[in-house]
Structure 1
Amino acid sequence: MAIKQATSSKLEIDIQFASAPIEDKVLTIASLAAIKKWVKASTHLSGLVTLRFVNAAEGKKLNFAFRNKDYATNVLTFPYELTKKTLTADIIFCLPVIQKEAREQAKTAQAHLAHLIIHGCLHAQGLDHESNAEASKMESKEIAILKSLGFRNPYAPV
């Protein structure tokens, strides 16, 4: 099931759901308009960003196939094209993992999802957190974007 969202800029956002129950759960957390707003806040580039929301089985299968890790993870980012003006990427979100993490971290599912959408979009634009310096740069961008959207610092203690 796919819902295409064209935006006023040249960035196209394609939102996909692995199943109707996943779609229902995502849409109780955030509207399509909110999801689109979070993506647009994360990049000024044109192109296509596809967001796919999956269950734990699909998340685990993809994480194993592409990262050789035998568990479902919260977000997987697949950047295909990145230039000074354009971005093409697929970003996969495992909804059960996101919901579990939100509960464990005492965050709302909406705040955690917003953070992970921004996190995935920044990965698609070449940011990473493999070193302390990279992590600091990425986290500061996440914090600033989230603050501009009315969310608190996801790294601050609750």
Structure 2
Amino acid sequence: GGVRGRRGLPTQRKVQTWAKSALYADATLTIRFVGEEEGRSLNRSYRGKDYATNVLTFAYAEHESDPVSGDIVLCCPVVEQEAREQKKPLEAHYAHLIVHGVLHAQGYEHEEDAEAEEMEAIETETLQALGFADPYQADVKNKV
């Protein structure tokens, strides 16, 4: 089923604010919130992974000169569960994943350590500027 009326969904204004905070150029982005079933089916079709994941980014620019365009899909039940597990406010987790997706749409990657570190640093800075805590702080504590 859909996610209309789902509790804890950020307002459109907040989503726009978060997305813009991570954009470095004009972009055309669609941000969608989906349920478990659609999240799983998209992840299976496009990444060959048969489970729902927190955020999927489909980036359509093929060259650096192309305008940034993409679809960012957030799977609500997964985001909610992760926020609970990581003991984070749901809003902060949505903000983080939207910033993460918007960076992906602009070509940022985290396959290699150096790339991951750069991406995490930008995410942390962006979220702190928005008034949220460092999204990676909790993870550090859990790894010890």
TM-score (norm. length: structure 1): 0.82
**Structure with the higher strand share, 1 or 2:** 1
Give every structure 1 segment of 4 or more consecutive aligned residues whose post-TM-superposition deviation is greater than 3 Å: 82-85
2:92 corresponds in structure 1 to 111
Which of 110, 135, 140 lines up with 1:154 in the alignment? 135
Among the aligned pairs, what percent are the same residue? 43
- Which secondary structure does the structure 2 equivalent of 1:24 belong to? coil
Cα displacement string for residues 73-107 of structure 1 (whole angstroms, at most 9, x for unaligned residues): 00000001264573110011100000000000000
Matched, 1:141 2:122: yes
Matched, 1:127 2:108: yes
Matched, 1:93 2:74: yes
Are the equivalent residues in 2 in contact too, given 1:46–1:85 (CA < 8 A)?
no
1:6 corresponds in structure 2 to none
Q: Quick one: distance in 2 between partners of 1:134 and 1:31?
A: 31
Task: Figure out how many residues of one structure are paired with residues of the other and give that number.
Answer: 138
Flag structure 2 segments of 5+ consecutive residues without an equivalent.
none
Q: Quick one: distance in 2 between partners of 1:152 and 1:107?
A: 9
TM-score (norm. length: structure 2): 0.90
Q: How does 1:5-154 map to 2 (within 5 A)?
A: 19=2, 22-25=3-6, 28-81=8-61, 83-84=64-65, 86-154=67-135
Q: CA RMSD in A?
A: 1.6
Q: Quick one: distance in 2 between partners of 1:61 and 1:31?
A: 25
Q: Report the AA paired with residue 43 of structure 1.
A: L
Cα displacement string for residues 29-55 of structure 1 (whole angstroms, at most 9, x for unaligned residues): 421111100000010321310011110
Q: Quick one: distance in 2 between partners of 1:144 and 1:23?
A: 31
Q: Quick one: distance in 2 between partners of 1:79 and 1:85?
A: 11
Q: Report the AA paired with residue 140 of structure 1.
A: A
- Which secondary structure does the structure 2 equivalent of 1:61 belong to? helix
Q: Quick one: distance in 2 between partners of 1:119 and 1:69?
A: 20
Q: Quick one: distance in 2 between partners of 1:54 and 1:29?
A: 11
Relative contact order: is structure 1 or structure 2 higher (C-alpha 8 Å, sep ≥ 6)? Answer: 2
Q: Quick one: distance in 2 between partners of 1:47 and 1:77?
A: 14
Q: Report the AA paired with residue 115 of structure 2.
A: E
Q: Quick one: distance in 1 between partners of 2:12 and 2:38?
A: 22
Q: Quick one: distance in 1 between partners of 2:77 and 2:118?
A: 28
